């Protein structure tokens, strides 16, 4: 009887999970979402017509409706999005959505096969759905390229663990053609202390540098426009940027204590941000070296998870969908690095939404804007504790 009840609950859970995603995709199909893709599409149309793809006034005039964001990728990437302009916007909207669904399925299979073999599939899929205020679903809402980026990123990480350096280098550089900051992951092979790895790192950096130079030489005006757009971006928690830098700036600008810091120079929040990042880097490096000394392995999956956590905590811009990067690391921590009885509580914390209609004091609401970053900080603390105290041997993939 107990077995039958367990099976019934499992089937109900599967059905509920399916309904959540079906409703979510239906909502995307009905309303005007995917605003990032809208910016990509009409920037590509502007580029095709020889107009300024980085000027929202131009793209809004072409679209005939408001466009929330400027195009924020290098000029040469516009050629990729011009592929979608073969279709009208409505058709391209659905094509992009379908491609992202396929990519998400591929990403989950990649995680399941290479990182979490033997884990409960249903539990893991619920975690993918709910973690970090439903970060995966928010990528669909925003219409960003985050799911594609993460699929390619984890292909790179699995390749790295198997020492397939060409695949790793190519995938990281390809991601960085769009999301420039991902190039920092190219240095991960140096943790092997293998001279051969240095060759691939240098090759990747050279290709990336050549790519940036090509953008400047081929589209100088557009490249300068990109720099000007990036230079004025100052998004905060209210507009889905849940980064450390945004949180520190909001603390001095918008929290209840802001009135006491009205005369503080603008350089102070930036200095605090840099100081905190340095502390995170130093603690993480010491924890990693401590782990390496005790288990005798120079590079494991834990090195990658720690790099992902440090990246998310340190980056000056982490949008709602950017936390997809942390799904594998966070699941690993709550399953492997804490006591079993703590799992359900950590799962619920990570599954909390940052959106709530409940009235809150201003300071609590301020913290709630940055709940994804604070959740990542909690996972990082637990992981560092695991690295410095646990005697278990980390998983090492070499198939």
Query: What digits encode the pLDDT tens for the residues 259-282?
Result: 666 667 778 888 999 999 999 999
**58 φ, ψ to 5°?**
-70, -50
Q: What is the pLDDT of residues 203-228, one digit of tens each?
A: 999 999 999 999 999 988 888 888 88
- Cα dist. 21→93, 97, 138 in Å? 18, 13, 12
Cα-Cα-Cα-Cα torsion 101, 74, 134, 272, nearest 10 degrees, comes to 160
Q: What is the pLDDT of residues 297-327, one digit of tens each?
A: 656 889 999 999 999 999 999 998 999 999 9
What angle do the packed helices 89-114 and 121-142 form, to 10 degrees? Answer: 150
pLDDT band with cut points at 50, 70 and 90 for residue 398 = very low
The total of other beta-carbon atoms located within 10 Å of residue 314's CB is: 21
Q: Tokens in use for 338?
A: 């804490």
Amino acid 123: pLDDT? 87
Amino acid 263: pLDDT? 67
DSSP string, 100-125: HHHHHHHHHHHHHHHT-TTS-HHHHH
**What predicted TM-score, i.e. pTM, was given to this entire model?**
0.90
Q: What is the pLDDT of residues 95-152, one digit of tens each?
A: 999 999 999 999 999 999 999 877 778 889 999 999 998 899 999 998 999 999 999 9
């Amino acid at each position: 009887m107990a077995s039958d009840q367990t099976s019934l609950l499992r089937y109900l859970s599967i059905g509920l999970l399916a309904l959540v995603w079906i409703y979510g995709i239906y909502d995307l199909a009905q309303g005007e979402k995917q605003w990032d893709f809208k910016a990509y599409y009409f920037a590509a149309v502007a580029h095709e017509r020889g107009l300024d793809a980085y000027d929202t006034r131009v793209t809004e005039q072409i679209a005939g409706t408001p466009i929330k964001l400027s195009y924020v990728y290098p000029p040469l990437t516009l050629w990729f999005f011009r592929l979608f302009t073969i279709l009208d916007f409505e058709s391209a909207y659905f094509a992009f959505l379908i491609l992202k669904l396929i990519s998400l399925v591929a990403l989950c299979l990649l995680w399941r096969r290479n990182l979490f073999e033997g884990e409960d599939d249903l539990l893991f899929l619920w975690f993918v759905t709910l973690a970090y205020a439903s970060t995966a679903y928010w990528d669909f809402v925003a219409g960003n390229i985050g799911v594609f980026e993460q699929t390619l990123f984890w292909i790179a990480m699995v390749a790295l663990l198997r020492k397939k350096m060409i695949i790793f280098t190519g995938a990281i550089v390809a991601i960085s053609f769009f999301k420039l900051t991902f190039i920092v992951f190219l240095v991960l092979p140096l943790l092997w202390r293998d001279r051969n790895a240095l060759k691939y790192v240098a090759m990747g950096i050279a290709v990336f540098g050549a790519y940036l130079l090509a953008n400047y030489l081929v589209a100088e005006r557009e490249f300068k426009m990109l720099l000007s757009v990036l230079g004025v971006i100052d998004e905060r928690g209210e507009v889905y940027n849940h980064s450390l830098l945004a949180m520190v700036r909001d603390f001095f600008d918008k929290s209840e204590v802001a009135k006491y810091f009205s005369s503080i120079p603008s350089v102070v929040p930036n200095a605090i941000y840099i100081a905190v990042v340095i502390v995170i880097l130093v603690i993480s490096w010491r924890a990693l070296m401590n782990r390496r000394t005790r288990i005798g392995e120079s590079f494991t999956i834990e090195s990658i998870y720690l790099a992902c956590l440090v990246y998310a905590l340190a980056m000056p811009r982490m949008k709602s969908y950017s936390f997809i990067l942390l799904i594998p690391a966070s699941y690993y921590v709550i399953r492997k690095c804490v006591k079993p009885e703590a799992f359900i509580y950590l799962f619920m914390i990570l599954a909390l939404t940052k959106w709530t209609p409940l009235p809150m004091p201003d300071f609590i609401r301020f913290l709630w804007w940055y709940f994804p970053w604070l959740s990542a900080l909690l996972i990082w603390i637990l992981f560092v504790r695991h690295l410095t105290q646990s005697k278990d041997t980390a998983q090492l993939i070499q198939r």
